[in-house]
Amino acid sequence: MATREQKKKARREKRLAQENNRKKDRKDAGSVRAVLGPGTIQAQLPRKTLGPPGIPSELHVVAFQQAMAPDDGPARINDDREREFRVVVQLQTLIPLAAQNASISFDPTAGSSLLKVPRYELPKGGSVLVAVQTPAGVVRLHVNNKNEVSGAEFTCRGRSRAQALAIYDQHVAPVFDHISYKYDVPVNVASIAWFDSLNGVMGMNFIPSYAEVDASQLSGRYVEELRAFYGLYREALGNPSVFYQFLCHCKILEGAFRWKVPQLYKLARERGVELKAATPKVPQLDSMNTTAAVAAYQGKSIENAFTGFLEDEFRDAVAHFKTDDENPIEVTSYMATGRIGNVLELARVCARLAIEMLEAYISQLNQPAPTAGIGPTETPPTETVS
């Protein structure tokens, strides 16, 4: 059993090791800071490189001063050494659907909110409203030049950006949750940015914007009996919550396969019409954001993707406060948002194809001839996909 002196010695050695790590971080990162000192990084990137619009993603910037090997960037992003991270959270009162540029901001005073603070409450010449002590360290809440609470920042040590964001989930997001409840006002987190000074890596959560469309080319037949489906789809695209978007898409799929398709087949039997069954298949999805679990459903029927994956794995957990064997989903958690974001494109694509399928079935029912026409979406008339 260790003596008191041995325990003291072990604690001193641990403190010295931590201090040496910090000194090494500062030394290694010195040249990087000179080039990349965190402020705001802004760039215009080709729309096609950003992934599906409205689907949560991450944007990473790697700073370098000379030619970099192809695998150097990913290696620096995925470095597993313990190091310091600076994390900055920005609030925002507006939710843009069509941001023009991709930017990573480390200015916690650049945000905005409905939380006003009298100027006399602030230290003279400063923007820090309060320093909140958490088990992970101090979180500083900032105020902008309009006296609005604008953001928060903290530093922490970890082996990955995932560990740094887990600290946000555990100790920062709950602060905003309670403020929102306490004052009965929305508190919208617009962005979370992180800076790994040791590797010269910046990152930020990012939602690609929707592109403009040529309204003069809009065409198509509005099907009155599908109004509820069209409405759910529009509601999903216009809502910033990935959980709500996901539920809307699942409602479309549930309504299509468990209500509307049986109804249309019953109507077809009454009219003596033979519907050509053609359940669409999941197409190729965006390779950048598609996980292996999602990719496994490419080429399979959308009904199979819904009942065998989206519903069983995600829908019930999102729709209910909790399932019997899991804890409640914390909807303001970065990690929980990412988990649903990973399957959101699949859900959206399936929902859209389900509506196209219903439109095609209704079109067959409305054909004047006794035999209905072809089914929807690239499926030969004689093929039935189960």
Give the DSSP letter string of 111-137.
---S-B--GGGSPTT--EEEEEEETTE
Q: In angstroms, what CA-CA distances link 158 with 72, 87, 197, 310? A: 20, 12, 12, 33
- What are the φ and ψ backbone dihedral angles of 220, each rounded to 5 degrees? 130, 160
DSSP-derived letter for residue 366 is T
The pLDDT value recorded for residue 35 is 36
Q: Is residue 27 part of a domain?
A: no
Q: Is residue 171 part of a domain?
A: yes
Q: Is residue 237 part of a domain?
A: yes
Which residue's structure tokens are 């010695």?
A: 9
Structure tokens at 296: 């496994």
Structure tokens at 192: 């979370």
Same domain, 194 and 226: no
Same domain, 240 and 194: no
Q: Is residue 323 part of a domain?
A: yes
The pLDDT value recorded for residue 82 is 95
The pLDDT value recorded for residue 39 is 60
Same domain, 266 and 338: yes
> b or e along 163-183 (b: 16 or more beta carbons within 10 Å of the residue's beta carbon)?
ebbbbbbebbbebbeeebeee
328-333 contacts at long range (C-beta below 8 A, 24 or more positions apart): 329/243, 330/169, 330/173, 331/241, 331/243, 332/173, 332/176, 332/177, 332/189, 333/169, 333/173
Q: Is residue 378 part of a domain?
A: no
Same domain, 257 and 284: yes
The pLDDT value recorded for residue 234 is 97
Same domain, 262 and 227: yes
Q: Is residue 132 part of a domain?
A: yes
The pLDDT value recorded for residue 2 is 62
**Pair 310, 250: CB distance under 8 Å:** yes
In the chain, how many domains are there? 2
Which of 177, 206, 235 corresponds to the end of one domain? 206
Same domain, 177 and 201: yes
The pLDDT value recorded for residue 36 is 42
Q: Is residue 143 part of a domain?
A: yes
Q: Is residue 22 part of a domain?
A: no
The pLDDT value recorded for residue 44 is 66
DSSP-derived letter for residue 274 is B
Same domain, 60 and 180: yes
**Pair 150, 137: CB distance under 8 Å:** no
pLDDT tens by residue, the chain, 386 residues: 567 676 667 777 666 666 665 554 444 334 333 334 446 666 667 777 778 888 888 888 888 767 677 778 889 999 999 999 999 999 999 876 655 566 788 999 999 999 998 866 666 767 787 888 877 788 999 999 899 999 999 999 999 999 999 999 999 999 999 999 999 999 999 999 999 999 999 999 988 888 888 888 777 889 999 999 999 999 999 998 999 999 999 999 999 999 999 999 999 999 999 998 888 999 999 987 789 999 999 999 999 999 999 998 888 778 766 666 677 888 899 999 999 999 999 999 999 999 999 999 999 998 875 544 444 444 444 333 33
Same domain, 191 and 234: no
Same domain, 81 and 147: yes
The pLDDT value recorded for residue 215 is 83
> b or e along 126-158 (b: 16 or more beta carbons within 10 Å of the residue's beta carbon)?
ebebbeeeeebeebbbbbbeeebbbbbbbbbbb
Same domain, 46 and 165: yes
The answer for 299, left when phi > 0, alpha when psi is -120 to 50, beta otherwise, is left
Q: In angstroms, what CA-CA distances link 36 with 109, 195, 196? A: 19, 10, 11
Same domain, 194 and 125: yes
Whole domain around residue 142: which residue ranges?
35-65+74-206
Same domain, 335 and 226: yes
The pLDDT value recorded for residue 356 is 96
